[in-house]
Amino acid sequence: MDRKLELVAAESGVRLDKYVAEARPELSRSHVQKLISDGLVTVNGRPAKGSQKLKVGDRIGVVVPPPATSSLEPEEIPLNIVYEDGDLLVVNKPAGLTVHPAPGHPSHTLVNAVLAHYPDLQGAAGSTRPGIVHRLDKDTSGLMVVAKNQAAHQSLSGQIKDRSVAKRYLVLVHGHLSPSTGMVEAPIGRDPRNRKKMAVVSGGRESCTSYCVSRYLDNYTLLEVTLETGRTHQIRVHLAAIGFPVVGDETYGRRSPVLKRQFVHACHLAFRLPSTGEYVEFDAELPEDLEEALERLSLL
């Protein structure tokens, strides 16, 4: 089934293809340009060219067809299942495991692992991400919920959309972050200088991250971070933007001598079960590599 998006231009003078790609980061600029060339993008109800300059208030319609049929194969990849019922799985994803297939990474993902565990996993025809309601970066560990059927997917997606799903992360950053509690509110979109990165940009999507200091270690701060929104790389982008990059994050910070990946762990997840409405909460302790990093830093 086609997905239909509606946008309203918030600024004038920006190219159509650039605006759509920055407003919807899940769509690459090349994908947007293909949609435009196929006549699937309109401005004020009329087909438009990618080079068209927008005006404030222009209404942009985007039709995104379902992905081409894929050949997802079950793979016997170990899964740490925290909870399971007829509607969903809650898994504790290890760092290094990509959530779903993508160009350049067609297999050995969480989706492949879930298919081996539950072959009847439902998804849109040809979808490369059946059951996926939300994502974690490849090198982020922690809790994720995966829907087993369309009704559960719709329920969970709705809870995420209305911000009733609670997601909390443990994050280690460089420097002493003060005050001990705070909130970062800054729009996120594609970095205009590097399309593979995200950045705080004017005209980006509304993004809100709150934090609370858990403890200080030497010249580092361990934070409990809560996401009010769920943008790509949100935690890493926001903390780097205020001058406290995540330890081990080479994309938005720098390499770490104590850790080979970014120190981000999804430690808490809470939502309502689709079938009963019961509010459930799950917690996941820090994995061994992050615990060892904390121990090494505490000895410095």
Alpha-carbon span 145 to 161, nearest angstrom? 15
State which H helix or E strand residue 16 sits in: helix 16-23
What average pLDDT does the segment 214-222 reach? 93
Q: Within 13 Å and on the Cβ side, how many CA atoms surround 214?
A: 15
Percent of the chain with pLDDT over 70: 95
* Interatomic CA distance for residues 108 and 72, integer angstroms: 10
Segments making up each domain of the chain, as ranges:
3-64, 68-162, 168-266+291-298
Answer for the pair 90, 282: CB distance below 8 angstroms, yes or no: yes
> CATH 3.30.2350.10: does it fit domain 168-266+291-298?
yes
Write the pLDDT tens digit of every residue in 235-246. 999 999 999 999
Domain 68-162 shares a fold with domain 168-266+291-298: yes
pLDDT at 26: 74
Q: What is the pLDDT of residue 124?
A: 46
Instruction: With H, G, I as helix, E, B as strand and everything else as coil, classify residue 239.
Output: helix
Q: Give me 174's structure tokens.
A: 């460089």
What pLDDT shows up at residue 252? 97
pLDDT in tens, 9-68: 988 999 999 999 888 877 878 889 989 998 999 999 998 999 999 999 999 999 988 765
**The pLDDT of residue 87 is above 70:** yes
Residue 125, pLDDT score: 40
- Residues 6+ positions from 218 with CB-CB distance below 8 Å: 297, 298, 300
Q: What is the pLDDT of residue 69?
A: 47
* Per-residue confidence (pLDDT) for residue 123, from 0 to 100: 64
More confident: 69 or 54? 54
Q: Which tens digit of pLDDT belongs to each residue from 145-154? A: 999 998 999 9
Q: In CATH, which superfamily holds the domain spanning 68-162?
A: Pseudouridine synthase (3.30.2350.10)
- Active-site residues, by number, are 137
> What are the residues facing 183 on neighbouring strands?
210
> Tokens 């004020």 label which residue?
44
pTM of the model: 0.77
77: left (phi over 0), alpha (psi -120 to 50) or beta: beta
* pLDDT tens digits, 171-216: 999 999 999 999 999 999 988 888 789 999 988 999 999 999 999 9
User: Which architecture characterizes domain 3-64 according to CATH?
Assistant: Roll (3.10)
What's the mean per-residue pLDDT of the chain?
91
